[in-house]
Amino acid sequence: MSAAEKYAIHSDFAKFPALSIRFSPLVIAVLNFVIRVTRVLRKRPSDVTVTRHKIAGRGGHRIGVRVVTPDNVKPDAPALIYYHGGAFAMTFASLHLESAARYARETGCIVVFVCYRLAMRNPFPDGFDDAYSALSWVFENAQQMGIDRARVAVGGDSAGGALAAGVAQKCRDEKLFSLCGQMLIYPVLDNRCATTSATEFVDVPLWNAISNRRMWAMYLRRFTLAEPPAYAAPGMGDASGLPPSYIETAEFDPLRDEGLNYAKALADCGNEPTLNETYGTIHGYDSMVSNETVAASMQKRIDFLKSVFA
């Protein structure tokens, strides 16, 4: 029985293949090569200016960031620090930059898109350190960049959602910066992989429970999986005292339940998160940009950002 027959996946998403990714250097190198080629071939986003920077990271490492500025930007603009998905191991796709450009255009914010170190060579905490260093750089250079320090949010999809959620928790704990919001799109949150969705969905398209377990073993290979370090698996962390939150889940995604669990944990702490549960969807469903559910979710993300930037 195919996944389309077994699950009520929308026909737009059922056409994607069911993959079980092996996190070997060769496999990931090939995937990253393909992603980079498709990125080069796509048309550049319009009505925004994209500038590239190399900023100082922890231990002298240089971090690549792309600053996406809308043509109609106003002084003291809000900012979104964005972390792309890709199982911690893969580079960003053209869709990530296209979405960042849309967030910038439609909310009037400056998007700082972070090219953090990837975990095949640099497992946790290296990529997370880059994520937090990029946020620090934005706050330290906010005046020169035309950014309002009181209106800085973090966001990310999938593994990038883990980075965004972890950064938000570290901001709260260190009390050095104050965020106005966090936007988590089908986020990676819980390395235990013990929820119903993380055990049942072994055969769904694009991202399944088998790949999910392999990803965590790769990402946390410097540590004991039973005791992840602080901020690595934010769903296991303290949900109190965090900024206004948006959480988006996909129905047939191994990560669905950890997203729902985190939304409940936030609500239990008085956060009242904006929860967007999508149905008939899979992990990474928003790559099908013509689908009406994708269009609705993009609008909900933009509405959330407008609300926390207001």
Residues annotated as catalytic are: 158, 253, 283
Separation between Cα atoms, residue 291 and residue 134, nearest integer Å = 33
Helix (H, G, I), strand (E, B) or coil at 204: coil
Whether residue 300 contacts residue 292, with contact meaning beta carbons closer than 8 Å, is answered with: no
- 259: tokens are 């997203």
Query: Is the peptide bond preceding residue 125 cis, with omega within 30 degrees of 0?
Result: yes
Separation between Cα atoms, residue 265 and residue 271, nearest integer Å = 9
Q: Kindly calculate the radius of gyration of the chain based on its CA atoms and give it in whole angstroms.
A: 18
> What's 178's DSSP letter?
-
Separation between Cα atoms, residue 34 and residue 257, nearest integer Å = 30
Q: Which of 31, 43, 30 is nearest to 206 (CA)?
A: 31
β-pairing verdict for 147-157 and 110-115:
unpaired
Length of the chain (residues): 310
Whether residue 286 contacts residue 16, with contact meaning beta carbons closer than 8 Å, is answered with: no
β-pairing verdict for 245-252 and 274-282:
parallel
Separation between Cα atoms, residue 75 and residue 145, nearest integer Å = 9
Q: How far is CA 212 from the centre of its chain?
A: 15
